[in-house]
A = this chain, B = another copy of it.
Amino acid sequence: MNKSLEDYLKNIYSLQISAGKVTTTLLADRLNISPAAVSDMVSKLSKSGHIKNTPYKGFDLTKKGETIALNLIRKHRLWEVFLLEYLKYPWENVHSDAENLEHASSDDLILKLEKFLGFPKFDPHGHPIPDKNGKVNKEKTIAAADLNIGEAAVIRQVSDESSEVLIYLSKIGLKLNDEIKVLEKINFDNSLQIHFRSGNIFLSEKLA
């Protein structure tokens, strides 16, 4: 399986989750390459039936493309579990090494790894792990920023792509499945004051 193809599809997948149709610049920024390169590849992926493209308008995955993307995400998340639980990686470092391993793993290897890990359902950041047929448990989640004052919630997921954020969260002691409650919204800078287990903290807009 081609690394470049897989990376395109995986990133299109995660962008379309947050943004619906994906645009050239968005993907180019994500992959750190020029928009021209993306445009080029997009027309190839379109011809090969992995995405559906409307020139100048955006594109999204076909079933065929989604299957490959989900399979790669499955590999990524299972490796993350292994790196954290067995190799004792710090929380914030699992992402980048899993990024390489995912492309080097046959489907059969991943089946065996999954069994070894005891068929985990979530990765260390709380994201669901697709099964071997590409089925995912889509949990309803909400961004902390979208909670109202006084509302309580449980931390189910954190974004795994910025290790700085994860370092900060471990420093303040915020963990997965912690319950939080929004105390105050500061309109000035869109930050939040929240309450959790051991006290009150502020979350900036981005983090929330």
A residues lining the B interface (CB < 8 Å): 83, 86-89, 97, 100-101, 103-106, 108-109, 112-113, 115-116
Contacts and interface: CB of A to CB of B under 8 A. Distances in A.
B100 A112 contact: no
A90 B47 CA distance: 40
Specify how many copies of this chain sit in the oligomer.
2
B109 A105 contact: no
Q: Which 10 A-B pairs have the closest CB atoms?
A: A104-B104, A100-B104, A87-B112, A101-B104, A97-B109, A87-B116, A86-B116, A97-B106, A87-B113, A103-B104
23 contacts: A83-B109, A83-B112, A86-B116, A87-B109, A87-B112, A87-B113, A87-B115, A87-B116, A88-B112, A88-B116, A89-B112, A97-B105, A97-B106, A97-B108, A97-B109, A100-B104, A100-B105, A100-B106, A101-B101, A101-B104, A101-B105, A103-B104, A104-B104
A113 B89 CA distance: 10
A188 B170 CA distance: 71
A103 B100 CA distance: 9
Contacts of A100: 104-106
A117 to B, nearest CB: 10
A101 B105 CA distance: 7
A147 B20 CA distance: 69
A189 to B, nearest CB: 37
A100 B100 CA distance: 11
Contacts of A106: 97, 100
